[in-house]
Amino acid sequence: MKRRSVRHDPIATNERERGAVVVKMFLDMDRAVAAERSGGTDPAADKVAVSE
Amino acid sequence: MTVHIPYAPAFAAQQPEKSVEVYVDNGLTQILTWDRRTDQRQVRTTAPNGVAAYDIEPDGRHLWWFDADPSGIGLWRRQPFRPTPTDPTTPPAALTGLPPGRQAGIAFDASGGRVAVGIGTKTETRCYVGRPGGAGQLVAAAAGYATLVDLTADGDTVALAGRADSDTAISVIRLSDGRLDIVAGSDHRRIWALEFRPGDRSHPQLLVIVETPAGYRVGTWQRDRGIALAAALSYDTEVTAHWYGTDGQVLIQHDHAGRSRLLLADLTSGEPATIATPPGTILDLTCAPDGDIHYVWTGASVPPQRRVAELGAAAREAPRAAGPAQPTGTARRSELWTTQPYGRIHSFLATPPGAGPWPTLFLVHGGPSLHDRDAYDPRVELLVRAGYAVVRTNYRGSTGYGPQWQRGYGHRVGLAQLDDLTSVRRDLLHRGIATPGRVGLCGYSWGGYLVLLAMGVTPDAWSVGLAVAPIADYPAAYRGTTIALREVDDELFGGGPDDVPQRYRAANPMTYLDQVRGPLFIAAASDDDRCPPGQVRRYVAALRHRRVPHQLHWMSGGHLGNADSQTRAFDELLRYAGQALGPDRTRAATADGRPYQPTSQGGR
């Protein structure tokens, strides 16, 4: 039995997905850490400012 | 950097001590060779964009790897297993005369004297055959997206697979006389071709899976005989299968409600036997020439790890159970089934230590033909560590729950999925898990699309939307995406935007722009081939015009970004979520034992 370089079966067809099995992500656990708290504002009443 | 590789090795069929696999070096996957006779492992490539696919010739003397740009376009390269001082820095093309394209499969005959590869162009998929290192000969071309399934042991027959419900679900071509056999699928009978029976030279026997509305069945296809399904091998949810050895046994992976199991069965008789694997998900597997099954396994709290099920000659009578796995992380795991008239919606929950309710983020999977599983996801760990309850909901359209759940929502693309997310949100609030007014959505790719759609369709329900690499303008994304994904959309909607414009309009986030209140965080890759950047730019310009609070973050490195881009984008996403939802970081930090370290501001 060989390893398949491209999957095409009911479980996965990689080229036919917008997305990925998430564990393929190269997320740097040591660098991506929690954000600063917003200071207790009510998010429903005080939306985040526009920024780009 | 903590990186986990979900790929199994490829073994040389005639030299089982030689294998190739991938290893992560500085955020890029590179080829690692392993010779068990000498126990020597060597990193053998320095591909600038990493290695997307790999294989090894049956005699173990040469390895192949696909060298692609961030958009997936590239070529196969071939180099000796053992390095020599005269090796060029960049190995030559493995088959000459082929156009650059997308990797669409590779297969060797039993001797290694002939190879077949699939290459996807903008309009079609081509199959080339040749002697490794020599010139490739075009032997077949299929319109649209197809994959090379396999090459028979004698090198005389190739099989290609198209869309499983199409008129050309399987095409089998005999090279010696050009005979072409085509197997058609349909809406009610989808057919997947998997691989030729090894060693079977006279009457090629192709392993197949057939999906009907009732479920999935394993069987075979042969010339002049058609498809024969195995009576005992019938499953309610998604499966795949592999030939195991040459005596007609098959190895079946059955995925059900977010967990995998492995079965070994004789195709013609008897009930399958279960191979002991820990509860969780099998991401990839292969079988070594000695019969041992090498697989990559993960559980919700356990990063992917390589494991071996010893079924080889010495152990065949008494398969050794897999050993215990070591969990990591501090998240508390549970599952939720939300009952609706059309079925039960399954969600995986991860919560911080202590009692809720918590500010809550739905981490919405993409695809949509994927599902969240009992599998490790570093984003879940980071979000829980930041104080959020994390919900991963397998909405209608997800795999893992059978054909009806995957396809039984008509063509209400996006809106049916939002119904499910909204139902689960209501359930979480009712159960006291989610904090009212502090529930947000986070999604990548098609999951990011659902985030943008939800922020326009039901803006009151969601306190923040976080979308990475999303579809923002569906008709534009359709026109700008890959040929394989256009076919996916054709299937989801029942046609393209010109065929069923009203369905695309109902499913398009652009349609609901006037209702969007935000706040919205959107990250997109400037070189994304699947969810192209132009449609995101236009959506964000429309947000700006309407003065909707938002932040746009650009990535690079293809659809989901390269390693550095992914980390930066997630960092910004977390920061933005914190401003909108304000998780109780003090409580989470105390329970975790790790103080929070705010990251530096902006571009690192």
Instruction: Tell me, yes or no, whether B241 lies in a domain.
Output: no
pLDDT in the model for residue B71 = 83
Instruction: Tell me, yes or no, whether B262 lies in a domain.
Output: no
Residues B76 and B135 in one domain: no
B1 to A30: CB separation less than 8 angstroms, yes or no: yes
- Whether B8 shows a pLDDT value over 50: the answer reads yes
Residues B494 and B569 in one domain: yes
Distance between A8 CA and the closest CA of chain B, angstroms: 7
Residues B21 and B159 in one domain: no
CATH code at B363? 3.40.50.1820
Q: pLDDT above 70 covers what percent of chain B? A: 92
- pLDDT per position as a tens digit, A21-50: 555 566 666 655 543 333 333 333 334 444
CA distances from B358 to B336, B389, B466, B587 (A): 16, 6, 18, 11
In three-state secondary structure terms, B511 is: helix
How many Cβ atoms from other residues are within 10 Å of residue B26's Cβ? 10
- pLDDT per position as a tens digit, B586-603: 444 433 433 333 333 322
pLDDT in the model for residue B52 = 80
User: Are the C-beta atoms of B523 and B467 separated by less than 8 Å?
Assistant: yes
In this complex, which of B53, B367, B540 lies closest to A19 when CB atoms are compared? Answer: B367
- pLDDT per position as a tens digit, B488-538: 999 999 999 999 999 999 999 999 999 999 999 999 999 999 999 999 999
Residues B538 and B566 in one domain: yes
Closest chain A residue to the Cα of B197, Cα to Cα: A1
User: Are the C-beta atoms of A48 and B22 separated by less than 8 Å?
Assistant: no
In this complex, which of B255, B574, B583 lies closest to A11 when CB atoms are compared? Answer: B255
Distance between A10 CA and the closest CA of chain B, angstroms: 6
Distance between B192 CA and the closest CA of chain A, angstroms: 6
**In terms of residue numbers, what domain contains B74?**
1-94
Which pair of tokens denotes residue B366? 């993409």
Partners of residue B481 in chain A, C-beta under 8 Å: 18
pLDDT in the model for residue A25 = 63
Domain boundary among B168, B190, B212: B190
Residues B562 and B486 in one domain: yes
Residues B517 and B394 in one domain: yes
Residues B45 and B170 in one domain: no
Residues B384 and B471 in one domain: yes
Instruction: Tell me, yes or no, whether B236 lies in a domain.
Output: no
Instruction: Indicate the pLDDT class of residue B303, thresholds 50, 70 and 90.
Output: confident
Instruction: Tell me, yes or no, whether B267 lies in a domain.
Output: no
Residues B5 and B142 in one domain: no
Residues 26-45, chain A: which have Cβ within 8 Å of B?
26-38, 40-44
Residues B23 and B105 in one domain: no
Structurally, how many domains does chain B consist of? 3
Which pair of tokens denotes residue B592? 């975790």
- pLDDT per position as a tens digit, B546-582: 999 999 999 998 888 888 888 899 999 999 999 999 8
**DSSP class of residue B476?**
H
Domain boundary among B50, B76, B94: B94
A4 in contact with chain B, both atoms CB, cutoff 8 A: yes
Sheet of B10-11: strands edge to edge? B10-11, B18-25, B28-35, B40-43
Q: Could you tell me how far CA B18 lies from the centroid of its own chain?
A: 27
- Cα(B127)–Cα(A14) distance, rounded to whole angstroms? 19
- Cα(B250)–Cα(B195) distance, rounded to whole angstroms? 11
Question: Predicted ipTM?
Answer: 0.87
B578 to A34: CB separation less than 8 angstroms, yes or no: yes
B576 to A48: CB separation less than 8 angstroms, yes or no: yes
A14 in contact with chain B, both atoms CB, cutoff 8 A: no
- pLDDT per position as a tens digit, B31-51: 999 998 998 999 999 998 889
- pLDDT per position as a tens digit, B195-240: 999 986 778 999 999 999 999 999 999 999 999 999 899 999 999 9
- Tally A–B CB contacts below 8 A: 265
In three-state secondary structure terms, B426 is: helix
Supply the mean pLDDT for chain B.
91
Question: Which of B261, B571, B585 to mutate against chain A (most A CBs within 10 Å)?
Answer: B571
Domain boundary among B146, B169, B190: B190
Distance between B224 CA and the closest CA of chain A, angstroms: 24
In this complex, which of A3, A18, A32 lies closest to B485 when CB atoms are compared? Answer: A18
Closest chain A residue to the Cα of B108, Cα to Cα: A2
Partners of residue B374 in chain A, C-beta under 8 Å: none
Q: Please give the biggest Cα pair distance in chain A.
A: 59
Half-sphere exposure of B346 (CA within 13 A, CB side): 17
B245 dihedral zone (left: phi>0; alpha: psi -120 to 50; beta): left
Instruction: Tell me, yes or no, whether B282 lies in a domain.
Output: no
| SS3 letters across B449-460 | HHHHHHHHHCCC
In this complex, which of B304, B562, B571 lies closest to A32 when CB atoms are compared? Answer: B571
Instruction: Tell me, yes or no, whether B60 lies in a domain.
Output: yes
Instruction: Indicate the pLDDT class of residue B3, thresholds 50, 70 and 90.
Output: low
Question: Which of A8, A13, A30 to mutate against chain B (most B CBs within 10 Å)?
Answer: A8
Nearest in space to B590 (alpha carbons), one of B221, B330, B283: B330
Instruction: Tell me, yes or no, whether B292 lies in a domain.
Output: no
- pLDDT per position as a tens digit, B447-498: 999 999 999 999 999 999 999 999 999 999 999 999 999 999 999 999 999 9
Instruction: Tell me, yes or no, whether B278 lies in a domain.
Output: no
Residues B61 and B128 in one domain: no
Residues B415 and B533 in one domain: yes
Q: Which of B25-39, B115-129, B372-386 has the lowest mean pLDDT?
A: B25-39
Whether the link from the prior residue into B519 is cis, omega within 30° of 0, is yes
DSSP letter string over B339-398?
A: EETTEEEEEEEEE-SS---EEEEEEE--BSS----SS--HHHHHHHHTT-EEEEEE-TT-
Question: Which of A7, A13, A14, A23 to mutate against chain B (most B CBs within 10 Å)?
Answer: A23
- Whether B583 shows a pLDDT value over 80: the answer reads no
